[in-house]
A and B are shown apart, each in its own frame.
Chain A
Amino acid sequence: MATAGGARALAADLEAGRRKAEPCAACHGRDGNATVPGTPSLAGQPVYFTHWQLIKYRDGRRKDPVMAPLAATLSDADMADLSAYFAAQRPRRRPSVTDPARVAAGEPLAALHHCTSCHRPGLVGQEQAARLAGQDLEYLLRLLRAFKTRTASDLDGTMTVATQPLTDDEVVSLVHFIATLGEP
């Protein structure tokens, strides 16, 4: 609840973000580069992306037993600080095990399915569209499958629509390719 006179400025504070990110480190890594398989890295994620995801965890649209109670305690200013902090960290490719045949099959699929239209060339993300390059393979697989089965929270429906034509075999190839992108 905000009052007309009393809402605080939402200008993000990187140092505050660093402090507020301490409870996130156990799963997402101190600098937002996670090492736990299945857990996404947050380093280098666009500010808008992280902020919108936190809003969705807080209001229940995005469901996760760990994230929901954490997000419930965050104010709008906390979210702005955290999003700015993670966006400023250097993203490192996750050490996923990828299959070269899958990677080769996945590359043309990324072009065919217009992934770069929103996620930009190199799949580095922008605004509300996530950085995908070098993300954890297991996490990408879980999320794409959830979009396909219409069980993942989707801000504007784009990913739900985008995943419908994909077979599960194509989803697997696609995430193998995506996991190879980015710098180590």
Chain B
Amino acid sequence: MRPFIRTSLAVTIVLGLASPAFAQAPPTWKQGQPAEMASSPLAPIAQPPAPKAPGEIPVDKIKVPRGFKVSLWAHGLNNARAMAWGDKGTLFVSSRVAGNVYAVVDKGGQREVKTIAKGLNLPNGVAFKDGTLYIAEISRITKMARIEDTLDNPPAMEVVYDILPRDLPHGWKYLAFGPDGKLYFNIGAPCNICIPPDTHANISRVNPDGTGFEYVAHGVRNSVGFDWHPVTKELYFATHARDWLGEDVPSDRFDVASKKGLHFGFPYCHQGDILDPEFGRGRSCSEFAPPLIKTGPHVAGNGVEFYTGSMFPAEYKNRAFLAQRGSWNRTQKSGFRVMMVTLRTGDVPKYEVFAEGWLQGDQIWGRPVYTRQMKDGSLLIADDYAGAIYRVTYQP
């Protein structure tokens, strides 16, 4: 552990609640940085404005276990993020700063990419049910009915729910249907570290008709990836931890919400056992749900998906794939890989690498951000940095 030295109690500011008293608010990514690190060269990795051409995507650098193979499945999807399957075989793909939603149609082994919505406000969330595509932007969830029949002339987006907070920092959403038929999404903390408003730092849900909004989990700094266990139906989620506390702390987390209403510690306790130097005073980590796995410092855990297919070896059944987009707030980069978790009754989960190679030395050429199984049991991995989707297959 190599914590950054804190010599002074720098005032930490709630971004988005601006008033003259908060005149010195730094940009969100820099907020919480100790004064002695003011000249640190660490800063978020800029999102390229254009996807990479196929010749610039070294798929052969992605290493997977023996018997698995990786190929480039689609490219040219600027900032490709979360993926959701339509009933008729269309893959819907979200983006963040690119503002687009894409539809990928497989035509005889060639993938055609159509942009079905553009100019949206960080539309990171896509979910699909009963012929309808749901899209989550910063402050609203919308839908497009019968979209797969109208990909070349998409219908207007119809509002499902549009009274969510408008904060941009950590305001982009993952969106998924739970086993209860409700739409789940995150409302992230509007800061690096702050006492968030009661309305933030949670996972929430709403009925697909926009009624019945409720909070599911509290104290969640920002979870932009979750899934439900295929057998127990419990909600498992990844969370990005705060920055500027150290090279090796705090760890990001992988959690299970075994019931509604649990508090997972933010901003008081990080990684289950480190009190925040400012906000943890007078608190104890024992007040909060501990992480199931400490997934590593600054790894930026995004996608979470339980494997239910039959192409991969039998031991992969019900394993969770965790896509880690990779660090910026760490001198030696971490993440940039897809991990896998094997849950074991009465034992700690097994946590190991599934795919890596987007990081070569200190250089990155891609950032794996979400996974999605195909019908045949192969696994798609979206890379928002290269604007590409890879397919992982297995042959014994």
Count chain B residues whose beta carbon lies closer than 8 angstroms to a beta carbon of A: 46
Binary contact readout B268-285 vs A (1 if CB under 8 angstroms, 0 otherwise): 000000000000000000
Residues of A within 8 A of B119 (CB): 56, 59-61
Could you tell me if A162 and B114 are in contact, using CB atoms closer than 8 angstroms?
Answer: no
At the interface, yes or no: A90 with Cβ under 8 Å from chain B? no
What CA separation (Å) do A39 and B20 show in the bound complex?
31
Nearest A residue (CB) for B20: A165
What CA separation (Å) do A11 and B55 show in the bound complex?
11
At the interface, yes or no: A9 with Cβ under 8 Å from chain B? yes
- Segment of B46-54, B221-229, B248-256 in the binding face: B46-54
- Segment of A14-22, A29-37, A112-120, A133-141 in the binding face: A112-120
What CA separation (Å) do A112 and B67 show in the bound complex?
56
Could you tell me if A4 and B97 are in contact, using CB atoms closer than 8 angstroms?
Answer: no
What CA separation (Å) do A8 and B46 show in the bound complex?
23
Shortest Cβ gap from B68 to chain A (Å): 21
Binary contact readout A48-67 vs B (1 if CB under 8 angstroms, 0 otherwise): 10011001100111000000
Shortest Cβ gap from A80 to chain B (Å): 6
At the interface, yes or no: A73 with Cβ under 8 Å from chain B? no
Per the 8 Å Cβ criterion, residues 66-94 of A in contact with B are: 76, 79-80, 83
Partner of B99, one of A59, A76, A79, A127: A59
What CA separation (Å) do A65 and B212 show in the bound complex?
42
Could you tell me if B46 and A112 are in contact, using CB atoms closer than 8 angstroms?
Answer: no
Could you tell me if B26 and A114 are in contact, using CB atoms closer than 8 angstroms?
Answer: yes
Nearest A residue (CB) for B21: A165
Could you tell me if A9 and B55 are in contact, using CB atoms closer than 8 angstroms?
Answer: yes
What CA separation (Å) do A9 and B15 show in the bound complex?
40
Shortest Cβ gap from A65 to chain B (Å): 16
Shortest Cβ gap from B16 to chain A (Å): 6
What CA separation (Å) do A127 and B328 show in the bound complex?
15
Residues of B within 8 A of A128 (CB): 46-47, 49
Could you tell me if B99 and A48 are in contact, using CB atoms closer than 8 angstroms?
Answer: no
Binary contact readout B1-33 vs A (1 if CB under 8 angstroms, 0 otherwise): 000000000000001101110111111101000
Binary contact readout A116-152 vs B (1 if CB under 8 angstroms, 0 otherwise): 0110000000011000000000000000000000000
At the interface, yes or no: A156 with Cβ under 8 Å from chain B? yes
What CA separation (Å) do A41 and B371 show in the bound complex?
42
At the interface, yes or no: A184 with Cβ under 8 Å from chain B? no
Greatest chain A CB density within 10 A among B50, B52, B111, B167 is at B50
Partner of A1, one of B22, B47, B113: B113
Residues of B within 8 A of A56 (CB): 99, 119
What CA separation (Å) do A1 and B111 show in the bound complex?
11
Could you tell me if A113 and B46 are in contact, using CB atoms closer than 8 angstroms?
Answer: no
Could you tell me if B53 and A10 are in contact, using CB atoms closer than 8 angstroms?
Answer: yes
At the interface, yes or no: B186 with Cβ under 8 Å from chain A? no
**A55-B49, A155-B97 known; A4 and B27 CB under 8 Å?**
no
Residues of A within 8 A of B122 (CB): 156
Shortest Cβ gap from B192 to chain A (Å): 12
**A61-B119, A117-B27 known; A52 and B99 CB under 8 Å?**
no
Could you tell me if B28 and A127 are in contact, using CB atoms closer than 8 angstroms?
Answer: no
Could you tell me if B23 and A112 are in contact, using CB atoms closer than 8 angstroms?
Answer: yes
Shortest Cβ gap from A116 to chain B (Å): 10
Partner of B168, one of A1, A5, A127, A160: A160
Greatest chain B CB density within 10 A among A4, A8, A11 is at A4
A residues neighboring B (CB under 8 Å): 1-5, 7-11, 48, 51-52, 55-56, 59-61, 76, 79-80, 83, 112-114, 117-118, 127-128, 154-158, 160-162, 164-165
- Having A7-B53, A161-B16, one finds 20 other A-B pairs with CB under 8 Å, namely A2-B76, A4-B75, A7-B51, A9-B55, A10-B53, A11-B53, A48-B49, A51-B50, A55-B49, A55-B99, A60-B119, A79-B49, A112-B24, A128-B47, A128-B49, A155-B97, A156-B97, A157-B169, A161-B168, A162-B27
Q: Give the 9 A-B residue pairs with the shortest CB-CB distance, closest first.
A: A157-B168, A164-B18, A2-B76, A127-B46, A51-B49, A59-B119, A9-B53, A59-B118, A4-B111
Interface CB pairs A-B, < 8 A, 24: A1-B115, A2-B75, A3-B112, A4-B74, A4-B113, A5-B110, A10-B51, A48-B46, A48-B49, A52-B49, A52-B97, A55-B98, A60-B118, A61-B119, A76-B50, A117-B30, A128-B49, A156-B122, A157-B168, A161-B16, A161-B28, A161-B169, A165-B20, A165-B25
